[in-house]
Amino acid sequence: MYDARTPTTAATMSLRAALRRLFAAPAAAPARERFPYAVPEKIAALASVGIWPLTHADTQRQNVESLFEVDSVRDFAPDERALVLYAATNFRSVAAELRSRRARGDTWATDFNYAVADIDPELTLIIGDFGLGSDACLALDYRYDPSEPAVIKQQWPQCPPSAAAPIRWIRVAPTFEAFWAQLRLRDQRPR
């Protein structure tokens, strides 16, 4: 996990400050809630070398040009064509996402659509999605090991979701490191 004693660059310092505000400090605004666990150190390392997005604009650019080879995404998400990583400052738990959307009157924000029966919404941190046209989230699951969260994704059924064919969360990797190792960057930057 993140360690304040690691070597620093300007980007790393900015990311560290943002991560500290988001994950270690009490929320400054009602819309942002504090998450109780640290994000994997690898995310900060990837951001410090320009791979993990630092801003919302960086996140949105991935909808135009994917960071990853399609086949490496399809290895763990066969129905998807892209993977969009969120800036760490935009991470939020499923519970916080539901509360925020419901407060705005979003009728799609239901326990069924977020498959909360499969997870602990307070301990599931959304870190990405699968791009435009996909409603599936990618998340860190802290239920079993707060220091080494598993990586999970939403799996939508082929037919419209129903009680007989619900939306599910499936495990794609036992740790973030294992998840990252299975991805291939499009321009082959070192992981």
Highest mean pLDDT among 3-7, 60-64, 158-162: 60-64
Q: What are the helix (H) ranges across the chain?
A: 10-23, 41-48, 56-61, 70-74, 94-103, 176-182
What average pLDDT score do residues 78-105 get?
92
With bands split at pLDDT 50, 70 and 90, how would you rate the model's confidence at 1?
Answer: very low
Highest mean pLDDT among 8-12, 50-54, 109-113: 50-54
Residue 74 scores a pLDDT above 50? yes
Give the chain's largest Cα–Cα span. Answer: 52
Q: Where are the domains of the chain?
A: 55-182
What average pLDDT score do residues 44-50 get?
91
Helix (H) or strand (E) holding 139: strand 137-141
What is the reported pLDDT for 104?
A: 93
Residue 3 scores a pLDDT above 70? no
Which has the closest alpha carbon to 43: 81, 21, 74, 12? Answer: 12
pLDDT in tens, 140-171: 999 999 999 999 999 988 777 676 678 899 99
Identify whether the C-beta of residue 126 lies closer than 8 Å to the C-beta of residue 86: yes
Secondary structure string (H, E, C) spanning 77-128:
CCCCCCCEECCHHHCEEHHHHHHHHHHCCCCCCCCCCCCHHHCCHHHEEEEE
